[in-house]
Chains A and B, each alone.
Chain A
Amino acid sequence: MTIFKSLEELHHMLVNKEISCVELTRSYLDYIDSADSQVKAFLTVTADSALMKAAKVDKKIAGGESLGPLEGLPMAMKDNMCTEGIPTTCGSRILKNFNPPYDATVTERLKAAGAVLLGKLNMDEFAMGSSTENSGFHPTANPWDLERVPGGSSGGSAACVAAREVPFALGSDTGGSIRQPAAFCGVVGLKPTYGAVSRYGLVAFASSLDQIGPLTTNVRDNALVLNAIAGHDPKDSTSVPFVKPDYTQFLENNVKGLKIGIPDEYFASGLNPDVAEVIQKAIRTFESLGAEIERCSLPHTEFAMPAYYIIAPAECSSNLARYDGVRYGYRAEADDMIEMFKKTREKGFGQEVKRRIMLGTYALSSGYYDAYYLKAQKVRTLIKQDFDRAFEKYDVLLSPTAPTTAYKIGEKSDPLAMYMGDVYTIPVNLAGLPAISAPAGFVGGMPVGMQLISKHFEEGTLYKAAYAFEQNTEYHLQMPALLKEVR
């Protein structure tokens, strides 16, 4: 079956004419047809435009032209990245029927790379949530256990890659939204350095934290996708003009002498002991491969969560102010204008979104700004300094991605309990660092992810470490049982 192949293998199949791009696309679409009725990762499937694009690629192949590494290969995108003429709902009823008149920069770049978009993926509404249960449409299931959550907010992206519905997908990560679902679904998810991938066209949740990144089944594929989407974008003022390396050059299966710090604070109470054991085993694997392991401290870690839950809602309260039912998206019926604004927002937004808008509005309002927002920004600086100090000694920091494995759908009804699931990922966003989650083992049949963190723009180091681990373990090769059934 083509659907279990890596990007590199698929590329060779196309080049060697073992399969046409239309055939490849169709087989993925057929598979989505059957598998997604259970996983529910897709919000929109773009079969027609995908087949048209595939036909163009076939023409190119027939004409003897060479193909780029992603050309003709299927993919899907989280539904908060704008796709011209294709619904972009952000998982919210308020943007139902919103067809953007423009492409996000990542969309443009993937189009230019020749990737074939198969559809848009489910997510927690406006990327707020850690389980994809907060989607304005329906929850997505974890392919490893359909009764469990895939994680969030890029749950659709992680689940569809885990279920092999596409070989790669894009997610966005504001406080762990790529890494945590990647861990829950047993796939590789990278949150790049803030400023390494353009945010232009990413429907904003918290602008100073959001970052787009790839989800794939293995590290090499991940590097291939980052190659296509990273790089400076003049349309995004926070995008950094940096020299983009070929990320695949870091995949050398060698971590001898790599200095890995293990932050004590990430192994404190709240971490499931079985998950802890999996991560300890991963650490020993690195040790056996010649990496230098040392315990270290990031003393302000405990303040990251409260700071995040001030800064992110503050920015979201502002970013989401534009959804009033006037110019696009959903509009509620009402007798007058103000009533219409109110009803549109009341009915269009879900509970979690409203909660965060309220939080943010409060935190920014006069009289509270200094006590909350300003203080949170100071904490953010302290957290950055923690990391700066750690990276004076270490190349990489290693931790669990999440304190538990995927939980049951509906199990966590207390939002605060849900927020705790991002406790290891949030500090990375506050500091703008790159981090990757890679499969590290299983607990009770559910995947466990390990998180590797490195310095700004050192994605290569993350790939190097994760690749070496992957080459010496087999976790990434395991697949959900569901696949065999659907097949």
Chain B
Amino acid sequence: MSFTDKYEMVCGVETHVEMATKTKIFCGCSTEFGGEQNTHVCPVCLGLPGVLPVLNKEVVNLAIKAGLALNCEIAEFSKFDRKNYFYPDLTKNYQTSQYDLPICKNGWLDVTVNRANKRIGITRAHMEEDAGKLVHSGETIMTSSSSGVDYNRTGVPLLEIVSEPDMRSIDEVLAYLEQLVQIMDYAGISDCKLEQGSVRFDINVSLRLKGTEQFGIRTETKNLNSFSSVRRCLEYETERQAEALDDGGEIIQETRTWDEGRGMTLSLRSKEEAHDYRYFPEPDLMPLVIDRDWVERIRASLPELPAAKKARLQSHGLSEYDAGVITAARAMAAFFDQALARIDDAKLLANWVMGDLSGLLKTNGRSFEDSPVSPEQLAGMLTLIKKGDISGKIGKNVLEEIYNTGKDPETIIKEKGLVQISDESELGIIVDGILTANEKSVADYQAGKESALGFLVGQVMKATKGQANPGLVNKLLKEKLAQ
């Protein structure tokens, strides 16, 4: 690859996060996703003549919370501005946003890529309103005879989080984005449903010759809404830029769009056509004065964030990998923590949560949020395994039974008679029977054929329908064969 040998990428990301409020940023309309077109609207979010915005305080709460989670300074004095432009999905033809005095600034996030730690700066995070959605009658805007606008999304509160151009590899970008989304999810800022467009990324990327300091000319690709699109887009765009530079060409500073189907970026508009947004303070809203008590109250309400949770899980003996997988999704991590409160074996628990239970949920198209197996039930079952009451193998069946019936593990093993046979005398009788019935194997073993033991163990297990304690069977067989 020409690019990695010769060039270094410089990347910064603007992330738009739809905040999880019940109502819109400047009116009382619902923010619920979907719904029949233009049903979650009122004169205010439609920008009819004469209407005025009223700021939803919950939006400010969430913005402060997000800022704290991203190690930002929370401004004591902040205000809204109008960003004036002409666009079909914004009714007022200006967006109420924040410009020179954003609510959050100067934060950072630490990510780990290839065992190396990297701090990525966060320039600012500001509040703004979302726009509506264009609905074309045909496949694309060019082939449509008409286009409508669905304003249900207009006025949904957004937090725009702008990173520093600190990322130097695609892996760093993805590590940053994944962690950012995790934090937004953990802190309850957003539902983070990427597939519904509740998180969108604008990617700024440029290349420079390795070892040089000065930034190259960058492009901005707008509105990516999945990690895989970001990866593919960056692969394409860095390659495209490298080729252009190798050919002695120049990169044009421009806005591009990602064509998912064709797997390429396309020019949207160049810098020459770039908008002069004509920002000025929003006269319909009062400046925002945020007292420190307010900030401290929110700080106190912050939950444990992914990085801290991961470190804590590692302190319980989990590998970095396992701790990473479990903290990746808030629901799984929450489930894990609830179970961990009831069983003091993080490793065993992690294996079951990441393995069997995850598999079971995935097969049935469910998630940890609505898992039919409760953390208490899983912990209960694992306790039975640890006590030796059931084998791991039976455990798998028990888990499925819990999943299907909702019954507690103790009830299930009692009802199904699944309790492991660990009684030496009871098992001794069965072992004796097997030895009598398999004289040939006994002879083989005594002649030095080790594998015969395995066969005999298998026979005992078969005879007990798998309920015999395997360790005990081994021990008894060896004792009796030695006699």
Contact = CB atoms under 8 A, between A and B. Distances in A.
Given A102-B43, A318-B84, A364-B278, A200 B283 contact: no
Contacts of A206: 283
Residue among B46, B55, B284 with the highest chain A CB neighbour number at 10 A: B284
Contacts of B82: 318
A208 interface: yes
B51 A318 contact: no
Interface string B33-64: 00000000001001111111111000000000
Interface string A194-211: 000001111110111000
Contacts of A318: 82, 84, 94, 278, 280
A328 interface: yes
A104 B53 CA distance: 14
A333 interface: no
B86 interface: yes
A237 B50 contact: no
Interface string A311-339: 00011011001101011100000000100
B92 interface: yes
The DSSP consensus for interface residues of chain A is loop
Nearest 5 pairs of A and B residues by beta carbon: A321-B93, A208-B283, A207-B283, A364-B278, A203-B49
A207 B284 contact: yes
Given A81-B50, A204-B49, A207-B283, 12 more contacts: A88-B50, A95-B49, A100-B48, A101-B48, A203-B50, A208-B283, A237-B54, A237-B284, A318-B280, A322-B92, A326-B88, A366-B276
A273 interface: no
B49 A364 contact: no
A365 B84 CA distance: 10
Interface of B: 43, 46-55, 82, 84, 86, 88, 91-94, 276, 278-280, 283-286
B286 A102 contact: no
A238 interface: yes
B278 A237 contact: no
A98 interface: yes
A326 B46 CA distance: 12
A322 B284 contact: no
B276 A104 contact: no
Nearest to A89: B49
B69 to A, nearest CB: 28
Interface of A: 80-82, 88, 90, 95, 98, 100-102, 104, 199-204, 206-208, 234-238, 314-315, 317-318, 321-322, 324, 326-328, 337, 341, 361, 364-366, 369, 373
Residue among B46, B55, B279, B280 with the highest chain A CB neighbour number at 10 A: B280
B46 A327 contact: yes
Nearest to B26: A237
B276 A365 contact: yes
The DSSP consensus for interface residues of chain B is loop
Contacts of A100: 43, 48-50
Nearest to B53: A237
A344 B43 CA distance: 22
A101 B46 CA distance: 11
Nearest to B275: A366
A369 B50 CA distance: 26
Contact of B280 (A98, A314, A324, A327): A314
Contact of A322 (B55, B93, B280): B93
Nearest to A360: B278
A322 B285 contact: no
Contact of B49 (A236, A322, A326, A341): A322
Contacts of B43: 100-102
B50 to A, nearest CB: 4
A321 B50 contact: no
A90 B49 CA distance: 10
Contacts of B54: 234-237
13 contacts: A90-B49, A100-B48, A100-B49, A104-B50, A206-B283, A208-B283, A237-B55, A317-B84, A318-B280, A361-B278, A364-B280, A365-B278, A366-B276
A327 B93 contact: no
Residue among B49, B53, B55, B82 with the highest chain A CB neighbour number at 10 A: B49
A236 B52 contact: yes
Contacts of A317: 84, 278
Contact of A321 (B86, B279, B286): B86
A235 B55 CA distance: 10
Contacts of A201: 50-51
A81 B286 CA distance: 22
Nearest to A88: B49
Contacts of A80: 50
A88 B88 CA distance: 24
Contacts of B50: 80-82, 88, 100, 104, 200-204
Contacts of B92: 321-322
A237 B49 contact: no
B26 to A, nearest CB: 9
Nearest to B147: A337
B49 A98 contact: yes
A173 to B, nearest CB: 16
Contact of A200 (B47, B52, B286): B52
Contacts of B88: 326, 337
Contacts of B284: 204, 207, 237-238
Given A102-B43, A207-B283, A326-B88, A237 B52 contact: yes
A361 B279 CA distance: 11
B283 to A, nearest CB: 4
Nearest to B92: A322
